[in-house]
């Protein structure tokens, strides 16, 4: 089923985070954040590489101290993916990592300090052509806003953001993106909707402190899904108490589901029932594990019986419809071959890899011609 996405994205200005465009109609970039001890350079570099291999466009690294800033210098030299330095409290850390080639600075208006400190960061960023992310968070709002509103609210988040926007405008600095995050879906969505209609700067989406792998994925999918469906969002991070690689995979699943970006295999699989002619769940688990390295966009249908199997298989690049005594494999909408239960995973993997290789060659030819 080849329906185009009906989503009309919000117009926004474009900034560059390293070599990754953010906003201005560029593909929605996916970010994650390391959870290693930053001063452990080897562990942090290894995790950044794993995150990049999973498909992240940008990686954020926490820099809580000057020692971490010195470690960042070595980290920056070891990896090529754009890096964002996450800065809280001490503005001097931002100045230090700017010297070491950071691609973006994330500052929190709730704790970075007075205007003189912000000016120092902005002047440094301007001098070195580094964009800034203004990261407003419900858990660290300015004290006077906490007193004014009594508790975090969408309006409090927006007011905090506009304070920084106004000051950045006074400094004639426009290379920035914004985030307005809360752990509450409704607060986050309303805050983003409010500010999206008032500014044209790129927006970084996220539900902060969303939870563990399962609950955080659900919460993030609902909150970010609502915003993405509205056309809001230029880059995103799925915040999970889990391996950062999982954040990247969930982010890609979101964008793929909304047809905003494509990477890897889009599996169409039935939940299985007593009509299944093979073990669908086991088959899917094996296929996902074996084929995780494929990055070319593909549709693969795995359906356990003849009720919906042929129909779904005909719409996919590769499809499997359960049958007795043999299952039927489809390629490009047409029956291709039969397979038995004990060989179907091997047979499918072989056909999927062959199809992926063909698609890669076709894509390469298109690029050469253009």
Q: Which residues are annotated as a binding site for [4Fe-4S] cluster?
A: 270, 273, 305, 312
Residues of each annotated binding site: 270, 273, 305, 312
CB neighbours of residue 139 within 10 Å? 12
Which tokens in the block code for residue 2? Answer: 């080849």
Cβ burial of 238 (10 Å; 0-12, 13-18, 19+) is buried
What is the C-alpha separation between 301 and 265, in angstroms, rounded? 10
ω into 325 cis (within 30 of 0) = yes
Q: How far apart are alpha carbons 4 and 173 in whole angstroms?
A: 37
Read out DSSP for 170-226?
Answer: HTT---EEEEEE-SSHHHHHHHHHHHHTT--S-BEE--TT--SHHHHHHHHHHHHHH
End-to-end CA distance of the chain: 28
Q: Which residues of 158-168 are buried (b: 16+ CB within 10 A; e: fewer)?
A: bbbbbbbbebb
User: Quick check: 301 and 269 in contact, CB under 8 A?
Assistant: yes
24 HSE (CA, 13 A, CB side): 10
Distance (Å, rounded) from C-alpha 178 to C-alpha 201?
A: 7
């Amino acid at each position: 089923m080849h329906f185009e996405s009906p989503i009309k994205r919000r117009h926004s200005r474009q900034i560059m985070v390293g070599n990754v465009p953010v906003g201005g109609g560029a593909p929605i970039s996916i970010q994650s954040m390391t959870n290693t001890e930053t001063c452990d350079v080897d562990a942090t570099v290894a995790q950044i590489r794993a995150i990049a291999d999973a498909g992240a466009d940008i990686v954020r690294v926490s820099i809580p101290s000057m020692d971490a800033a010195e470690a960042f210098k070595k980290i920056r030299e070891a990896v090529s993916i754009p890096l964002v330095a996450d800065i809280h409290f001490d503005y001097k850390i931002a100045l230090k990592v700017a010297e070491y080639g950071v691609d973006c600075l994330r500052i929190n208006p709730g704790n970075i300090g007075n205007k003189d400190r912000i000016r120092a960061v902005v002047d440094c960023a301007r001098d070195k052509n580094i964009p800034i992310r203004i990261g407003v968070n419900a858990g660290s709002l300015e004290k006077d806003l906490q007193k004014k509103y009594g508790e975090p609210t969408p309006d409090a988040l927006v007011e905090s953001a506009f304070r920084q926007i106004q000051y950045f405008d006074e400094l004639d600095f426009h290379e920035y993106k914004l985030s307005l995050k809360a752990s509450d879906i409704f607060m986050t969505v309303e805050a983003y909707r409010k500010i999206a209609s008032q500014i044209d700067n790129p927006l970084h989406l996220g539900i902060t402190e969303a939870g563990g792998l399962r609950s955080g994925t659900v919460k993030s999918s609902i909150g970010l899904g609502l915003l993405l469906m509205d056309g809001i969002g230029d880059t995103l991070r799925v915040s999970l108490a889990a391996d950062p690689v999982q954040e990247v995979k969930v982010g890609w699943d979101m964008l793929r589901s909304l047809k905003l970006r494509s990477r890897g295999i889009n599996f169409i699989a039935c939940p299985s029932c007593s009509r299944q002619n093979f073990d669908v769940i086991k088959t899917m688990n094996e296929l996902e594990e074996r084929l995780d390295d494929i990055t070319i966009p593909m549709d693969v249908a795995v359906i356990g019986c003849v009720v919906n199997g042929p129909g779904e298989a005909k719409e996919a690049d590769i499809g499997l419809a359960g049958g007795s005594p043999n299952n039927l494999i489809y390629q490009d909408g047409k029956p291709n071959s039969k397979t038995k239960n004990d060989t179907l995973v091997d047979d499918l993997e072989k056909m999927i890899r062959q199809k992926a290789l063909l698609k890669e060659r076709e894509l390469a030819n298109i690029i050469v011609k253009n």
